[in-house]
Every structure is written in C-alpha cells, then in structure tokens.
Structure 1
Amino acid sequence: MTPQLYTSSVIPIGALYAMSLWFSNSAYIYLSVSFIQMLKALMPVAVYSIGVLFKKETFRSSSMLNMLSISFGVAIAAYGEARFDVRGVALQLAAVAFEATRLVLIQILLTSKGISLNPITSLYYVAPCCLCFLVVPWAFVELPRLRAVGTFQPDFFVFGTNSLCAFALNLAVFLLVGKTSALTMNVAGVVKDWLLIAFSWSVIRDTVTPVNLFGYGIAFLGVAYYNHVKLQALKAKEAQKKAAQADEEAGSLLQERDGHGDRKSDNQA
C-alpha cells in the first residue's frame, strides 16, 4: 500500500474507528450492557442511511419501512429502560454513527479501488493509525485523572487478557467469514446480542424490563428481515454470476467448434 493511498483511505477509516471505540466504551459508564446491545440494533439503520447519503445504497420504500420498524423497536426499548441516561445514549448513538460511516467509507475508499481487507489485514493497517488518534483523547481526558490518583498501577493481567480476547475475536471473524459468509457473521451477531442480554440479566444482574424485551423483539425482527433481504440479494447475485460464466463458457465452446469446422472445410477444399 502506497503512502498516498494510506493517507487518503486508511487514516480516515482509522480516525472513525477510534471515535467509535472511544464513544462506545464511554457509554458503558452510564448504561447497562443489555441496553447498549439493544441500541446497537440501530447499526443497519445507520449503515443504510449513510449508504443512501453517499449514493452507495439505492433508496427503497420497503427498506426505509424496515429501518423505521427497527428504530421504533429501539425507541420502545429505550422507553422501558430502567437506567436511562441521556449522556450514555448520546455516546452510544454517536458510536453507531461513526461505525456506520467507517463501514461505508471502507466500501468507498478501499473496495472501489479493488482493495479487499480481511479482519487481520485490516488490523495490520488500521490499528496503528487508530492508536494514534486514541492517544489524543487519552492525553486530555484520562491522563490527568491518572496523575491525580498518583498511585495508579495498571493491571497487566486485565489489559493482557482483554487484548488477547480482542485479537481472538478478529481471528474468529476472519475464520468464520472465510468458511461461510459475512451474512452468517451478521446472523451470529444477532444471536450474540440475545446471549449478552441474557448474561447481563442473569450474571451482572442488570435490570431488563418487559418493555425492553418487547421493543428489542420488534427491532430484532426488523434486523432479521434485513439479513434475509441481504441473503436473497446475495443469492441472486451469485446466480447471475454463474449464469454469466455459463454463457461465456458456452460461447467459447461455440467459437472452438466453429473454428474446428472452418479448418475442416479448408482441409477438404
């Protein structure tokens, strides 16, 4: 990757990734784990909206109705949240917006140029850039607090195991996408959200109200339908690609047969 391509493509993606990490991790200070997972259901809405804005997605009324149903479900879940905090919700929504913009920019800046990055190579290029951007808020927000404490000693076991889990997650995503598809990863992500909600309720003892579950259930159905539509579009695209390959092979066979016929006629002449 040339320095010019890195500057124009990877640095904006790294900056958005850093903002997404900063805001999403900050939201855990104010909100419960279960409610944050419910808010993350807005990711398809954000990706579709930003994709339409950048003309990477085609506006369809059916898709917009689906996005509205997801938003409506999340709004109900927010209404029933026992630990609702405006700052936490604002932080998490900002994180969703930054992450959605990052995903769209990956499509615009890299995929359009023929560059395909899997999760491992993405870390290789984006992680150092993301670290540089995260150092800035750390220096102004976290470092003064650490200096005020004076006796702060970082827990290297917690930091080390956290880093190991993060790397293992990216490796698992890489293997999953390689063996199946990106859509399978999205479906697995929906199942993961339900497991996290159940875990936070049963282990961490987060308060999960029936209104929470009802609203997230509506959002879950919307996300499931969104994944179903994506699957059908992917199957149609693959079928079209196979049909084009079959037509191309048939055309080459006809050309070879015509070529043999012409040579045979010339020999007879």
Structure 2
Amino acid sequence: MGKGEALSEGVVRKIVLSYTYVAIWIFLSFTVIIYNKYILDRKMYNWPYPISLTMIHMAFCSSLAYLLVRVFKAVEPVTMSWDLYLRSVVPIGLLYSLSLWLSNSAYIYLSVSFIQMLKALMPVAVYSIGVMLKKEGFKSETMANMVSISVGVAIAAFGEAKFDSWGVMLQLGAVAFEATRLVMIQILLTSKGITLNPITSLYYVAPCCLAFLFVPWVLVEFPSLKENSSFHFDYVIFASNSFCAFALNLAVFLLVGKTSALTMNVAGVVKDWLLIAFSWSVIKDTVTPVNLFGYGLAFLGVAYYNHSKLQAMKAKEAQKKVQQTDEESGRLLEERGTENSSDSKRDVTED
C-alpha cells in the first residue's frame, strides 16, 4: 500500500511539474510577444526600431550567457574549433538574426493575433526545407497535411481586417529563415554530435547575431535614431524586456529538457489561442469569423501533424526495444553456445 502511494505521489508530482514547465513557458513567451508589440507599435510605446530592439536583446543575452559560462561556471562550454564555429555556428547565427529582425519588424504592421496565425506555417516551412535539403523523406500524406495548413492560413489571411502585404512578407520571411535555421542545426551541429542548451547557444550564437545586425542597423536605423536625438532611452523598459527574452530561452530548455519538443509544440498551440483571445479582448484587434475559421483549419492540420510525429516516435521507440531484445537474446544464445562448447571440451579432456 505504501509503495503504491509513493508511486502515485511520484506520478502526480511529475504531472504537476510538467504542467508547471508548460505554464512558465507559455507565460514568458506570451509576455515577450506582447512586450515586443508594445515597444514597437506606433500606437503604443512608439519605438519602431526592430533591429535596435533585437540588438539590445542579443547584447543583453550575450553578456548574461558569458557571465554564466565563464565567470559563474554554471554551464560547461562546448569544445569547438574555430573551423567548426565558422562553418556551423556562424551560418546559424546569420539565419537567427534575420529571423528575429523580420519577426520583430512584423509587429509594426500586423496585429498579434494575425502574426500567430501566420506562424502556423512553421511546420510547412520546416518540412519543405527538410525535403529540399534531403533531411526529410517526401510523403504524399504529409504533403497533403502541409497543404491543408497552408489553405487554412490563406483563408485566415483573406479574412484579416487590417491586412498589410509588407507585414505579411516580413512575417513569412521570418518563418522561412527560422525554419531554415532549425534544419541547419540538425545538419551542421546535431549530425556532428554537438548539442547546445539555451545558455551555450546564446553564448556562441548571440554575438554572431549582434555582429550581423550591426551592418543593417548602421544603414537603416542609425540615421533615424540620430535625427530623433530627443528620444529618452528607458532603461527599465528595455532591461526588463531583454531579461524576459533571456528567461524565455531558459524556459525552452526547461520545457524540452524535462518533457519533450512535442510537448512544446502542443503548448505553442494553446499559447497561440490565448494570444488571439488577448489580442481581441484587451488590445482590441479585430478578429473576424473568417480569421477564426481559417486558423481553426490550420490548427487541425498542425494538431494532426503533431499526432503523426508522436505516433512515429512511439513506433521508433518500439522498434528500438525490439532490436535491443533481439540483441540481448542473440548475446545470451552466443554465451550459452560458448559455455556448451567449453563443457564439451572439458568432457573430452576428462575422458
């Protein structure tokens, strides 16, 4: 009885912790998105400088990651040669900087709710790029699923009350660069046996992002900021915003490390619906029935995609267990055969 109670307590504790990790990630992701929208939107804080905001985030994250890795020794740095760094980390840093720049820029032109609807295209982009780079096998069933998600997003875009073509292009570009970054991480790092947690990832990637963003910042935003010299830099606003962005990276590590990447995908769908509801009820963004119908269709496609991935993971794990069992059985038979052979030799010697 006591053992059963201890087991049930352990299961309940695990479930509670999992939901806690999900809640922390949703809260921080929600906060960063709304905070970025507040800073960049011309009708709110009115600081429409997405490159500068991204650079502030990267400078903050680089500094904090350096302190955690080099000063406080909270995380061990990954052993990496300069050649590997230049060939693997630098391209990923370039893609990440472009993704962040474009996604932050989209907040100036589009509503929070519509941006979340467009982000439903991420599985489509990841799968398509994976097929093109031969990291994924082409399957007609999966492609049909991707088409259904795309159709749903297209319907949502058709029903958008404040459609802005430039904002849509920026967000689609951000999705494309982010999807390419995720595939490249598999190709350039995972294939070499290198895994980066969010702290070491920021330690290596954030300085690259900062360097890559400097050039467009000088050409695009610096002249405007120089003219607008009367602007007062609010350290509390930007420091708290940057800290939230850094905390979100840690929350991703916590969620994926303690649960799974699939759990994060499912939690992301919940977060998107919460953001759409918040955008409609608090920010007063217009959400039309056509918007909701289209996103609902895309949502079903994403849910089916996640379900298919879960089934594939279960099948892979079951296959691994069967292989392990077969290997153990073969090893036992081999050991018994060796023992029998030794016994036979011993009998012959005794005779």
Superposition TM-score tier, normalisation by shorter sequence: over 0.9
> Is 1:177 aligned with 2:259?
no
Structure 1 residue 20 displacement after superposition: 0.4
Q: Measure, in 2, the Cα distance between the counterparts of 1:14 and 1:156.
A: 26
239-248 vs 213-222, which deviates more? 239-248
In the alignment, what sits opposite 1:18? 97
In the alignment, what sits opposite 1:202? 281
Equivalent AA in structure 1 for residue 277 of structure 2: A
Alignment partner of 1:50 out of 110, 129, 137:
129
In the alignment, what sits opposite 2:244? 165
Q: Measure, in 2, the Cα distance between the counterparts of 1:224 and 1:192.
A: 14
In the alignment, what sits opposite 1:245? 324
Equivalent AA in structure 1 for residue 262 of structure 2: L
TM-score normalised per structure 2: 0.75
Alignment partner of 2:306 out of 214, 223, 227:
227
Equivalent AA in structure 2 for residue 168 of structure 1: A
Q: Measure, in 2, the Cα distance between the counterparts of 1:163 and 1:182.
A: 24
Alignment partner of 2:216 out of 131, 137, 152:
137
Q: Deviations over 1:215-249 (max 9, x none)?
A: 00000000001111111111111111111111111
In the alignment, what sits opposite 2:57? none
Structure 1 residue 192 displacement after superposition: 0.8
Structure 1 residue 201 displacement after superposition: 1.0
> Is 1:79 aligned with 2:151?
no
Percent identity, aligned pairs only, is 75
Equivalent AA in structure 2 for residue 90 of structure 1: M
Structure 1 residue 16 displacement after superposition: 0.5
Equivalent AA in structure 1 for residue 237 of structure 2: V
Equivalent AA in structure 1 for residue 137 of structure 2: T
In the alignment, what sits opposite 2:148? 69
96-105 vs 155-164, which deviates more? 155-164
In the alignment, what sits opposite 2:118? 39
Q: Measure, in 2, the Cα distance between the counterparts of 1:152 and 1:3.
A: 40
Q: Measure, in 2, the Cα distance between the counterparts of 1:234 and 1:109.
A: 23
In the alignment, what sits opposite 1:188? 267
Query: Which of 1 and 2 has higher RCO (CA within 8 Å, sep 6+)?
Result: 1
Equivalent AA in structure 1 for residue 92 of structure 2: I
Gaps of 5+ in 2: 1-79
Equivalent AA in structure 2 for residue 122 of structure 1: S
Structure 1 residue 257 displacement after superposition: 1.7
Q: Secondary structure at the match of 1:57?
A: coil
Structure 1 residue 140 displacement after superposition: 1.6
Q: Measure, in 2, the Cα distance between the counterparts of 1:130 and 1:266.
A: 69
Alignment partner of 1:29 out of 79, 89, 108:
108
Q: Secondary structure at the match of 2:200?
A: helix
